[in-house]
A and B are shown apart, each in its own frame.
Chain A
Amino acid sequence: MKGNQRSKELAEKESTPGGQKELEDAVLKTGLCTGCGACVNLCPYQAVYRDRIVTLHHCDLTRGRCYDFCPRTPADLNTLQEACDVGDDLTPEIGAVGGFFITRAADEKIRRRAQHGGTVSTLIALALREGLIDAAVLAGEGEGLLPQAVTVSDPEIAVGQGKSRFVVSPTVAEFNRVNRTDCRRIGVVATPCQALALAKMRTQTVKDTQSGIEKLQLVVGLFCGWALSWRNLTALLEKKMDIAAITGMDIPPSRYHTLEVYTKKGTVRVSLDEVNSCVRESCRYCGDMTAEFSDLSVGSARLPEGWDTARFWNQVVVRTKRGSDLLELARSKGVLEFREVPAGNLDKLKAASVNKKRAAASHPSGPRSVVDKMGQAG
């Protein structure tokens, strides 16, 4: 898109009113809300409760950052890509691909505490240690099945937060909070919707209040198929186990068609048919599986040796120079191990991503198909 055309669209967007009412009508009441928290901690009107965004009081502004930053309100993707400095190597399936790698933490202790290969934990710890960032916002352990968005500055603590969360964490809300503190350089570990919200903050159109987005120095994206509703998931698992005894969860490749729940008494397998009813409505409309608006994106790996090997590795898609520099730093410092990318892996990832984009575009379709096809991305 040409520059002048783009600025024309931007001007159009600026003239389109969007405040709390429009956010409620277009996102909150329609089930499109991802729970990312972008509209929270900006003002006293929106809050997070459990994994839901709620409106506390009525705001009558016709233009608000809540609407502006929401990943489910209209945006010009080209403007966003430009704002995120993503490379020219755009693919229609998974966005910019400046590089594609299979990696894992060199430190076995980090791998043991992580969901898969510990790549995200390693990169965040490295960025903190090297002073690229002085605070990292990520989804930490909360109460029960509910994660808690936390800010860590200590690399040792950062590596202890590496488990996947199956319920959304209001990470962007935490970013909104922490960017008003003394932190100067903030990194965020973000799901695709959260990364998109952060990208939209870079193109803020509501001018009267600043949001501290210039402090955002790193976005590590996470591959994501969907997130589950806390209330529904709790109701489902309560019947099968003691929630307090859960130590972790994972979704093996799709042929298993299972959510594995690790508890102190062993692993409980829950059919994805049952899990499907817990998927957030908004996730069924989401077409971004790989966090296209991040500096680099990380997900679980697929290897010819099978799941028992692959589960301890990650796949990494590099999007920006910043992402590439960080990965190379990790390589030169020896904190990440790299292995050869098997032939066809990138194509499989693209195929999975296309499936999600199709499902999102054609929704409402059979919700089951969303889970089946996307489960492997978790």
Chain B
Amino acid sequence: MSIDKQQREGAEVLLMGNEAIARGALEAGVQVAAGYPGTPSSEIIETLSRFAEPGKLYVEWSANEKVAMEVAAAASFSGLRSMCVMKQNGVNVASDFLLHLTGSGTRGGMLLVTCDDPGALSSVNEGESRHFARLMEIPLLEPADFQEAKEMMPWAFTLSEEIRNIVMVRSVTRMSHASGNVVLGALPQPGGKGEFLCDGKISDPERGPVISAPVVEKHRLQQEKIRKAAAIFETSPFNAYTGPERPELLIITSSACRLYSDEAVSLLGAEGRVGILKLGTTWPIPPAYVKKHLTTTEKVLIVEEVLPFLEEQVKILAAEQAREIGIKTFYGKNDGTLPMTGELNPDLVAAAIGRILGIAPATFPAVYNEKLRSLAGVVPQREQTFCPGCPHRATYWSIREALQRDGRNGFVCGDIGCYAMAVLFQAAGFHTAKTLHAMGSGIGLASGFGKLGSFGMDQPVLAVCGDSTFYHAAIPALINAVHQNANVIFIVLDNSGTAMTGFQSHPGLAVNAMGEAVPMVDIAAICGSMGVKVVSGDPFALRQTRETLNRLMEERGGVKVLILKQSCALSPEKKGKKQYLVRVDEHLCRGDACGCNRLCTRIFRCPGLLWDREKGKARIDEVICAGCGVCAGICPAEAIRCEEAQVP
């Protein structure tokens, strides 16, 4: 399931939604793509990077989403087709630039591709990026299947060029990460030369400087562009209606919710009573097209994720056109027919339709439920925790032991990365991490906490931050903490890659997204240049890490930086290679007796450690043990033994 250069026009292949988006961009001749990794968006840039070639397609993992948008915009200003890719909260990061970009306009076709995460399956928010389209007054497109995800990309580039502004394409987890058959189109010949024409007057959109001033005039132009887009949307191939000519209930939907709606109607056997109006152009909605469909029915159900975005637009339109189309009854988020939070699914939609039309709720056949139950037993129960061999477990262990020794109720401000699990599943971080917000917010919050000493706060304040997050958004907050002399211990969890999203490169690494050798930006040198104390260590050296932390906690005033460097257990250089062969000496293992009480399997909880209930002893799961040897250091009986593994 991936696309490659051998695949020809007309071939039908199984593609993940994100791959279909990437393929669509390639078929549109995209020349510059930049993004910051974030689930569910990461595979788009990853896929494009495999097609990268100097002079044809430049792809980069940028330091953050705002920079990614700026990098892509520069290409657009130079007449090239470009795109920036990010997850929903990445748009927040980029939004300051986006506000100004929409005022200045673009030249080469430019897309903002965002992948939202309704239900926060891999996020700590379910922020909705669609509202940015309305806020920033730019067109919004939402694909509703995999073929469309590909087809929409060239169409969006053309639209962007027609209105000379950025166009937003929004996917969701179930669209980005599910797969479907896609018929491929032709890949164009490599595109043209890049040149930034900037010798014209400020009013010249072709050759003038690219700025958002004069603001009011540019704003007016921007609104003209959006009206033009709305007119184009009236005949968009991505808006479609299926169902009876005069449906009892009209569903208006978009994106993955279209698939839920289709399934729900079919589940209820209500095809003859319910029509589905699927919109691919969701801001602004095409008024005449939607009005035409509103006239066919009395009842309208809007199915979308997450907030009532389409619902509000449709209601405004219906109010404006009420004299002609009559009074409608609306169902959706606002009246509670569908939940205002979390993901939707076919069951929820079917239940809503059932309630509106008085149809008994559809049930799955008994055989389906039986099969479901039998399969549930096969799936091993695993708690959400750090992988075997993960450096974060060792780090949090030392933090816990240091904080407990210190005894002043110190805490960790968490940040975004795998290590955020310490907050989400407190047992994974040994109950040390207590806050979790946006990228870089750990050190930002710590900077504030670290100034509360004058209010009597004596708690040690620690902040953690991964290497990629460090470059993304931690640096300004760190500078602030240093400058304000906040009493903070800043711990950089350097696992040499953007591990959580799949080892994308970042500025600390010597290779970029194109596989080229690039300069590394050294974290220790950056921190050191701020004039603060920087200590480096290996998180697997438990005692040393703990003693360092306790020493830093005793030091008064100012920022102290501790860089704990150890590659991720899943990193390409480590994966499948064990440093140690680990085993438990059953004669020494104290089991659940007073003196141990299963420290390794009850508290440390590396998935590589198993509790043998019958023997009352711990043992190692040799299949998943990563051979890091850290557990040997926590065993009070020295029962966990490590032998250097033979290098094959």
Contacts and interface: CB of A to CB of B under 8 A. Distances in A.
Interface of A: 42-45, 47, 49, 52, 54-61, 63-65, 206, 208-209
B327 to A, nearest CB: 62
A120 B400 CA distance: 40
B198 to A, nearest CB: 63
Contact of B401 (A52, A56, A58, A64): A56
Contacts of A54: 404-405, 407
Contact of B597 (A49, A52, A61): A61
Contacts of A45: 597, 599
A209 B599 contact: no
B595 interface: yes
Contacts of B593: 208-209
Interface residue SS majority, chain A: loop
A260 to B, nearest CB: 28
Interface string B589-609: 010111111010011000000
A60 B592 CA distance: 10
Contacts of B590: 209
Contacts of A55: 404
Interface of B: 400-401, 404-407, 430, 550, 590, 592-597, 599, 602-603, 634, 636
B599 A44 contact: yes
Given A44-B636, A57-B599, A209 B405 contact: no
A303 to B, nearest CB: 43
B298 to A, nearest CB: 61
A52 B404 CA distance: 11
A59 B597 CA distance: 7
Contacts of A58: 603
Contacts of A60: 597, 602
B407 A64 contact: no
Nearest to B636: A44
Contacts of B592: 61
A57 B400 contact: yes
14 contacts: A44-B636, A47-B401, A49-B550, A52-B407, A56-B405, A57-B404, A57-B603, A59-B597, A60-B597, A61-B594, A206-B594, A209-B590, A209-B594, A209-B595
Nearest to A20: B597
Contacts, number: 53
Contact of B594 (A49, A52, A56, A63): A63
Minimum-distance CB pairs A-B, first 4 = A49-B405, A44-B636, A209-B595, A208-B593
B81 to A, nearest CB: 56
A44 B634 contact: yes
A283 to B, nearest CB: 19
A45 B430 CA distance: 13
Contacts of B595: 42-43, 65, 209
A43 B595 CA distance: 4
Given A44-B599, A61-B594, 8 more contacts: A42-B595, A43-B594, A45-B597, A49-B405, A54-B405, A54-B407, A61-B597, A208-B593
Nearest to B405: A49
A65 B594 contact: yes
B617 to A, nearest CB: 14
Contacts of B404: 47, 54-57
Contacts of A59: 597
Contacts of A49: 405-407, 550
Nearest to B591: A208
B618 to A, nearest CB: 13
Contacts of B594: 42-43, 61, 63-65, 206, 208-209
Given A49-B405, A54-B407, A59-B597, A43 B400 contact: no
Given A49-B550, A56-B401, A57-B430, A43 B596 contact: yes
A64 B592 CA distance: 11
B205 to A, nearest CB: 65
Given A42-B595, A65-B594, A47 B636 contact: no
A206 B595 CA distance: 11
Contacts of A43: 594-597, 599, 636
Contacts of B599: 43-45, 57
A185 to B, nearest CB: 23
A49 B406 CA distance: 7
